[in-house]
């Protein structure tokens, strides 16, 4: 099972979380030093630049206010970075929903309470890999029929180039080009749905801007 890298002298993620939960001196700072960059990256990949710092601060405030309940719910033995990425992603989505609600609805703050609910508490121990596979299928579903066929033959049927070229009646050179472009378009869609797994392009949510509405990558 994957784990966050930690030098031999540093505490493991389990020890780090245990220290935070029992309020050991310096534990929050140690947790922050190890995982804040990841948390910031996930928020940055999913929020507009002007909101990133606010969401980041709100995330830590929420954790402190709730006595780090989100860390209590982490299933030991699984990857803490992957878990945190999922929690932060849900928190960012909630943040956007709550703001949209504030902008659209008229009412007291009590109406906002259900929307700021504990997204993290609903996280199951389902495999993160399984979730990414679903994202891959969703990304595949919006491709052109020919791209879908190419991706399906390559990734899911595991066919080699000769077999795919025969099935599609293409020359080897044409297939190489078509396959490369299909994979690029597929990955573009995956990046749009799971941007945190891709390196930053210099701007929050920049990945979405390179895709047109119909899901094609703009040249």
Partner 1 sequence: MSAHPPDGSDEPEAVDPVMLAVLSNRGRDATLLTSDQERLLDDWVAGRLAPAEAERAAALTKQNSLAAERVLERRLLEAARQSPPVPQDLTARILKASLPPKAAPSGGWWRSLDRWRWQGLAGAVVLAAVVAVVGVPLWQQTMQGGDPMQVAMVTINDRNALFEPSDVRMRGPGPQPGPVVEQRFHDVEVPTSILKGLVAAAASPRSTASREIEPYLSMSGDGRPAHVIVDSALKAKIDTSGDSERMLVRIYDLEDPRAADIRPLVGPLPKGRRIYLLTLKP
Give me the residues that bind partner 1 (CB under 8 A), please. 1-5, 12, 14, 18, 23, 28-29, 32, 36-38, 40-42, 44-45, 53, 56-57, 60-61, 64, 76-77, 79, 81-82, 85, 127-130, 132-133, 136, 154-156, 158, 160-162, 172, 175-177, 179-180, 183-184, 187, 190, 196-200
Nearer to partner 1, 29 or 48 (CB): 29
Nearer to partner 1, 74 or 120 (CB): 74
Nearest distance in Å: CB 94, partner 1: 19
Nearest distance in Å: CB 185, partner 1: 10
Nearest distance in Å: CB 123, partner 1: 15
Nearest distance in Å: CB 107, partner 1: 29
Q: Distance between CA atoms of 76 and 14, rounded to whole angstroms?
A: 7
Nearer to partner 1, 38 or 168 (CB): 38
Place of tokens 């982490």: 74
Q: Distance between CA atoms of 166 and 162, rounded to whole angstroms?
A: 6
Nearest distance in Å: CB 24, partner 1: 12
Collect all residues with Cβ–Cβ distance below 8 Å to 92 and sequence separation of at least 6. 42, 43, 46, 47, 55
Q: What is the DSSP letter of 195?
A: G
Nearer to partner 1, 100 or 133 (CB): 133
Distances (CA, A) of 201 to 146, 204, 208, 209: 29, 8, 11, 11
Q: Distance between CA atoms of 38 and 34, rounded to whole angstroms?
A: 8
Nearest distance in Å: CB 33, partner 1: 9
Cα diameter, the chain? 67
Nearer to partner 1, 20 or 119 (CB): 20
DSSP secondary structure string for all residues of 23-66: T-TTHHHHHHHHHHHHHHHHHHHHS-HHHHHHHHHHHHHHHHHT
Nearer to partner 1, 103 or 158 (CB): 158
């Amino acid at each position: 099972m994957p784990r966050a890298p930690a030098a031999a002298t540093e505490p493991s993620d389990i020890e780090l979380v245990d220290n935070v939960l029992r309020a050991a001196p310096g534990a929050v700072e140690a947790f922050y030093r190890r995982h804040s960059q990841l948390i910031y990256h996930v928020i940055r990949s999913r929020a507009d630049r002007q909101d990133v710092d606010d969401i980041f601060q709100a995330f830590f405030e929420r954790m402190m206010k709730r006595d780090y309940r989100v860390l209590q719910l982490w299933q030991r033995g699984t990857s803490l970075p992957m878990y945190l990425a999922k929690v932060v992603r849900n928190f960012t989505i909630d943040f956007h929903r709550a703001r949209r609600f504030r902008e659209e609805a008229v009412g007291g703050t009590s109406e906002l309470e259900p929307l700021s609910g504990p997204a993290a508490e609903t996280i199951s121990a389902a495999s993160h890999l399984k979730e990414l596979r679903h994202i891959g299928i969703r990304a595949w579903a919006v491709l052109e029929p020919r791209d879908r066929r190419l991706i399906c033959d390559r990734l899911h049927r595991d066919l080699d180039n000769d077999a795919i070229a025969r099935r599609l009646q293409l020359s080897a050179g044409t297939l190489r080009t078509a396959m490369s472009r299909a994979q690029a378009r597929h990955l573009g869609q995956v990046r749009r749905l799971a941007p945190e797994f891709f390196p930053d392009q210099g701007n929050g949510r920049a990945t979405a801007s390179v895709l047109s509405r119909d899901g094609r990558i703009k040249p």
